[in-house]
Structure 1
Amino acid sequence: MTDHNNKIPFDEDNYTHNINRNNERMLDRRGFMKTLAGAAGVFAISTLPWGAVAAKELIGLSNKEYPHQKIADVRDVAVGDSVKFHFPSEHDSAILIRLSENKYVAYQNACTHLRCPVYWVKEEKEMICPCHHGKFDAVTGAPTAGPPRRPLPGIEVKVDNGSIYAVRVKRYEA
């Protein structure tokens, strides 16, 4: 295509003259950011129903009572001894400790640092996590040494007719 004087109809220094812009979708930075913000908004709104379901479940957990599960008979657990059991499900390992004649405590026995198993050491009267030398107070479940910063989740126990039952998981409150 040349004009009357045999000249090229565009500047020869323009290197984009050969791009066909017909029906080409333009996405500049502003358009890209609008698309990105729109996608993020759609994603955020689409997660709201699941967040509501999770919040509803978490709100009810502090009062959630599970079917009472028999741990052991009182006569089978001597003062200072412990019994391992699973509560509230078969995948949740727990430990019951008889501290005195009428005092029982139970905790989920996964360390709050990295979920290693926690063991009752009768001679030291402490619960110990061997992975990173964490220690927990048996009376409160609070960490006394090592890297754990949160107490062990407690399990409420009930003694009825000579048997010890797990009733509910006490939730950690910050």
Structure 2
Amino acid sequence: MKAIQRERGRLPRAPPTSNPVKRVKVLSVGDPAVGKSCIIKRFCEGRFVQEYISTIGIDYGVKPVIVDGQELKVSFWDSAGDPAYFEIRSEFYKDTQGVLLVFDVSQRKSFESLDRWLQELKNLSGTDAVLIVVGNKIDSAQRTVPTTEIASYCAKIGKRFFETSASSGQGIQDLFDQMFSELSGKEKKS
């Protein structure tokens, strides 16, 4: 009987669930080589990629998560930080619900670029996305951006920040727990 129904395209559909899966889009932005891809790989795959491979254009990953009993299917869009990829990157801001603004605590220039990234987000997103500033590579011996300076900057722009190490995994789960909590809370207010 199932074979006949399949041939006719009439297989019964599964009944809708009371809690359908919600889709969420999270975009990572920041200068090249700050660890955007590594943060996402650490969260999605539980691993760290030792060798640096520059993202060309955009990279993509998906991970289902449960927040307050609700299943979210999170699409991660990992953007290239190189200015040469601006045109490609600019296409992915649309309909973004969450943004990770990543810099490397051992590269002061990447911290000083945050305002430029915020302006790009403001100009291109068209949404009120949840934004979290991420100071990555906190395990680096050459740290040049102290926590107090990050806290001051984030207080000025009214955003949360997390310090992470994609290498060790420190702070990664807390970062994403906060992101998904804010996304879930924002949806409940809508």
TM class by shorter chain equals under 0.3
Give the structure with the larger helix fraction.
2
Which of the pair has the greater relative contact order for Cα pairs under 8 Å at 6+ separation? 2
